[in-house]
Amino acid sequence: MSPLEFLDYAGTFVFAIVGAFKGLKHRLDILGVLILAVFTGLGGGIIRDLILDLNPPLAFRNEVYFLICTLGAAITSVWGPKIARWWKGVLILDAVGLAVFSAQGALLASHAGLGPIGVIFLGTVTAVGGGVIRDLLVREIPAILVREFYATAASLGALALWLMKYFHAPTELSLISAVVTTLGLRLLGMIFRWQLPRVPRFTTEEDENLDP
């Protein structure tokens, strides 16, 4: 097993735990918790593979990914309160998963011959797509749209990979650059609570005028 493959499995596991916690928060049954764990862990990669016409998606060709998500859901369901005490550690591991998924998605897009926009888009989708699906399933506005320096870190990491490949850097160095960029920015965002500027809100009167 290569280091990148190990990190991919580890990232899937951590994303599954984060998704399962969302299920616990909304008091879902065990099936609901499992569904959120699977979609959070695998959703972004499945979307990426479908866009790249890689059929069937990797998750269906290597069912270890589903077993990893199931394990994450089971552990969270049984030991959720204990894991919650170490939530900051889980968030750090989540940042690692974000970085690995972003780099992996960007690399596949680069190998498919896509330009910078395609590389950045697929790197970001791979990293955050599962979380978006998770939030929509529980009828929440996706977290990446309203708070935290999360998707931006993934996008900049994907951009770093494209730049490295553009200047003909070795694949290993390109991956390391992307992972370090995303992970560093995400951790700094957590420490300093970075957020993108918000668009000014409408007044109450303007809000009413926009109603159909």
Q: Tell me the pLDDT tens digit for each residue of 96-125.
A: 999 999 999 999 999 999 999 999 999 999
CB neighbour list of residue 106: distance below 8 Å, 6 or more residues apart: 119, 120, 122, 123, 126, 157, 158, 161, 162, 178
Confidence of residue 211 (pLDDT cuts 50, 70, 90): low
Asked, as a colleague might, if the bond just before 56 is cis with ω within 30 of 0, I would say yes
pLDDT of residue 111: 95
**Is pLDDT of 147 > 60?**
yes
Q: Is the pLDDT of residue 155 over 80?
A: yes
Lowest mean pLDDT among 30-34, 55-59, 192-196, 202-206: 202-206
pLDDT in tens, 19-58: 999 999 999 999 999 999 999 999 999 999 999 999 999 9
Has residue 14 got a pLDDT over 60? yes
pLDDT score for 83: 87
Give the span between the Cα atoms of 27 and 30, in whole angstroms. 9
Q: What is the pLDDT of residue 178?
A: 97
User: How far, CA to CA in Å, does 134 sit from each of 117, 137, 189?
Assistant: 25, 5, 22
How far apart CA 76 and CA 107 sit, in angstroms, is: 31
- What's this model's pTM, rounded to 2 decimal places? 0.92
> Which pLDDT value is given to residue 5?
84
Q: Is 144 or 131 the better-scoring residue by pLDDT?
A: 131
In the predicted structure, residue 67 carries a pLDDT above the cut 60 = yes
Report residue 185's pLDDT band, with 50, 70 and 90 as the boundaries.
very high
